[in-house]
Structure 1
Amino acid sequence: MRLPWFSRDTLVSWDGADGKNESYVEKLHPREVWMSPDGDKGWLIEAGERAGGEGGITLDDPGDLEPSLNGPSYDYLRTLPTDPGLLLKKIYDETGGMGSGPDQQAFSTIGDLLREQVVPPKLAAGLYRAAARIPGVVLVDDSVDAVGRHGVAIARTDEVDGARTEWIFDRETYTYLGERTVQTRDAEGIEAGTVRGRTAVTDRAVVDAVKQRPAGLGDAPPSA
């Protein structure tokens, strides 16, 4: 089993009683995800009510889902090309017609590949370089994740909703550190300048079973 440990806050939106969209950003809180290398077994624990309370919820695959670019497993990631040109071509070919446009979808897909999986180092570097080739993507020399670590980032603004997302990497190893999303214009009740979300991957480890934590992180709560 592979365990990514996150800290994150995200924007929560809903329709208020007056029909207007209302929103707030959650406080930074821990999130733990266990996934087997083949993606068939998994578990999620996240603070509060988001993931079934203290005990968490299963992420087991019912058997009819194959790993994909938008739902990868570690074994699947190992099959992807690490050359940035080939990698980007595959992403465009397989995600065409999705999302708010091919370029934004390609950028979002790279985030899906990075966010909750242990990524082989050569692939992580390939994803960073592939994302830099997407039209509208800019390089950010210094960005800060949710726990204050500095790194380099690739960023793109979604033309539809105005959200600017940064994928943040260690500047030496290209290890994925986290993400930061900021609203660039007033839209859907969200004011420009609002930080819509921040994350930091604070630990990644290989363990023997679901809900087992590495030494030093304490015991996970019993299964629900």
Structure 2
Amino acid sequence: MTETKLREDICTLAASLFDRGLTHGSTGNISARTEDGGLLVSPTGSSFGRLDPARLSRFDALGHHIAGDAPTKEMPLHSAFYDTRSQAGAVVHLHSCHSVALSMLPDADEDTFIPPLTPYAVMQLGRVRLLPVFVPGDPAMGDAVRGLASRHAAVMLSHHGPVVSGKTAQAACNAIEELEATAKLALMLRGMDFKALDPSMIDAVVTKFDIDWD
């Protein structure tokens, strides 16, 4: 994919997430690998609803900011995914309401934050780890992701929002939407006697799609 097309795709995907209320104001950030090993990153203080393809932050393959506006303050978080997951071609972070609400509940599961309610939640996300509360922009968020040793494609920042990596920007956005939708389902089902996904189905999905579930 050409860099021009990638810039356009990033802005189109971000606008779609914004228009449907999956993030708001100047919250959220997105990045994607370029063909030369560099990165395109949403600028600091920018809105997903109004990203300009020409003003995206541009990094070279060595991690130097070489063009565009100043990048998001969450760069340590993005860098941690790229450095630990060789298959990561994009990273997206939202402040989506249902997942944030789920993270604030006292019984939130740290090891399997998003319950395996549907096959697609398992297939697109794997096991999602719940991380503690951090001050926005704190490099410790990146350290926490590195500490997971590449075992998770998605994490949830408590009281803050989800962060998901994917092979492409489209894949990362699809997965983070699945995370938010499953968080909404989990909240809707609280206190109800619902039928859980059969463990054999979880195993079958994990095996067929080679998902990290340990």
Q: TM-score with structure 2 length normalisation?
A: 0.31
Please state which structure has a larger fraction of its residues in strand.
1
Q: TM-score with structure 1 length normalisation?
A: 0.30
Please state which structure has a larger fraction of its residues in helix.
2
